[in-house]
A and B are shown apart, each in its own frame.
Chain A
Amino acid sequence: MNSIRRALVAALVFTLARPFAALAAWNKEAFGAKTPGDALKTLGIGNATPSKDVVIDAPQIAENGAVVPVEISSAIPGTTALIVVAEKNPFPLVARFDFKEGALPFVKVNLKMAETSDIRVIAEAGGKHYVATKEVKITIGGCGG
């Protein structure tokens, strides 16, 4: 009885002290890469097949590069991850989303883009990679404060 109680107390204390434990460590090397090629190589992504089933919904023109809304998804069966790259950003790798059982390969997120460039999205399914790109033109707004 005593040992079970002690184990429970230990578990609770651990939870309170560390409320968050990331499932995947943040990939410092990939996020620090300065070219899209380097970032993808670090992630082990070689040749990706262009696919219309990887969908990028983003406006062609963004009024400001601070917030570029992007909705991405994959219709490829067995998609377990979506990787987002903004080609001309100083650090091109923007995000990696890993989907487990229960989640659909879909995400909408707001990105910062330094300048007009392609958004490249890679879907990982069954060990293979598929890619789609879309250009977003970045403009600067009028003058209203």
Chain B
Amino acid sequence: MKLVALGAALALMSAVQAQDASKEIQRYRQMIAEGSPAELFELEGETLWNKPQGPKNVSLEKCDLGRGAGVLKGAYARLPRYFKDADRVMDLESRLLYCMETLQGRSREEATKRVFGSADRPAEMESLSAYVAAQSRGMKLDPGLTHPKEKESVALGRALYFHRTGAWDFSCASCHGDEGKRIRMQDLPVLYKPEQARPVVASWPAYRVSTSQFITLQWRMNDCYRQMRTPEPNFASETTVALIHFITATGKGASYAGPGNKR
């Protein structure tokens, strides 16, 4: 009897401790959010947006992110979506790349030479993503879901989420597939559940305090695949855009908090 009671007490204690740990981590997240270096990336992004570049020596100011040429307010909140001129579904970064190629005349090779930067030298995509995403702060996420290609994209994303592949036979669901899983201190969100996808899509792209880097969604997907020991996906590939589309669609309706701050 005594042993059982002790066991129950211990179990209760560790459950309470887990709860406390969760609360304290929330406190940590709240405190690092107040005053975020992400703002520095937003400012740099604004400069880059207005900077004439490429053979055509033109800025990105006329780039159409879905709400009209040069309209930034609310544009991020409606991505990914289908773009008629490119005849494909695009996320923020693939659309930025498209504008770099078409408006500025830059080659894909040159523009994607260094898409993921480092703490000492951020890449263009990071600052531009921060700037554009910030213009949708406070708005409800509303990715495109009605066009046939949009439906295909979300379906592809869902299939990819559960598709096991690579050296370790992992899928996204291997880690993000069941309730109550964690890696070290991080609770792993189950991203095909709307209530768990919403806080996630509401806070990316984000500044990672542990690496001092501003991580974009393309970068995040790329790194997930790296950790799954699969071949590296191409930047802004159909794969990565579809995954981003699926997760954003699952989290639709979330109020976008703006570029975030993460551990």
Could you tell me if B219 and A59 are in contact, using CB atoms closer than 8 angstroms? Answer: no
Of B27, B224, B227, the contact of A59 (CB 8 Å cutoff): B27
Of B31, B184, B212, B219, the contact of A69 (CB 8 Å cutoff): B31
Could you tell me if A139 and B185 are in contact, using CB atoms closer than 8 angstroms? Answer: yes
Which chain A positions have C-beta within 8 A of B226? 145
Determine the main DSSP class of A at the interface with B.
loop
Known contacts A61-B21, A63-B185: does B32 contact A141 (CB below 8 Å)? no
Question: CA separation between A58 and B180, bound complex, in Å?
Answer: 27
What size tier do the contact residues of chain B reach?
20 to 34
Instruction: Report A108 CB to chain B, min CB distance, Å.
Output: 8
A126 adjacent to chain B (CB < 8 Å): no
Question: CA separation between A110 and B223, bound complex, in Å?
Answer: 27
Question: CA separation between A139 and B211, bound complex, in Å?
Answer: 15
Could you tell me if A139 and B184 are in contact, using CB atoms closer than 8 angstroms? Answer: yes
Which chain B positions have C-beta within 8 A of A63? 25, 28-29, 185-186, 210, 263
Give the contacts of A19-69 with B (CB-CB under 8 A): 58-64, 66-67, 69
Question: CA separation between A142 and B209, bound complex, in Å?
Answer: 13
Could you tell me if B223 and A142 are in contact, using CB atoms closer than 8 angstroms? Answer: no
A140 adjacent to chain B (CB < 8 Å): yes
Give the contacts of B61-101 with A (CB-CB under 8 A): none
Could you tell me if B215 and A141 are in contact, using CB atoms closer than 8 angstroms? Answer: no
Could you tell me if A60 and B24 are in contact, using CB atoms closer than 8 angstroms? Answer: yes
Could you tell me if A64 and B263 are in contact, using CB atoms closer than 8 angstroms? Answer: yes
Give the contacts of A62-95 with B (CB-CB under 8 A): 62-64, 66-67, 69, 71
A143 adjacent to chain B (CB < 8 Å): yes
Closest to A67 in B: B209
Could you tell me if B182 and A142 are in contact, using CB atoms closer than 8 angstroms? Answer: yes
Could you tell me if B185 and A143 are in contact, using CB atoms closer than 8 angstroms? Answer: no
Question: CA separation between A61 and B24, bound complex, in Å?
Answer: 6
Give the contacts of A89-145 with B (CB-CB under 8 A): 108, 110, 139-145
Which chain A positions have C-beta within 8 A of B212? 66
Instruction: Tell me the A residues contacting B by CB distance below 8 Å.
Output: 58-64, 66-67, 69, 71, 108, 110, 139-145
Q: Give 15 pairs: A residue, B residue, CB < 8 Å, sorted on A.
A: A58-B31, A59-B28, A60-B20, A60-B24, A60-B27, A61-B21, A63-B210, A108-B35, A139-B184, A142-B185, A143-B186, A144-B224, A145-B215, A145-B219, A145-B227
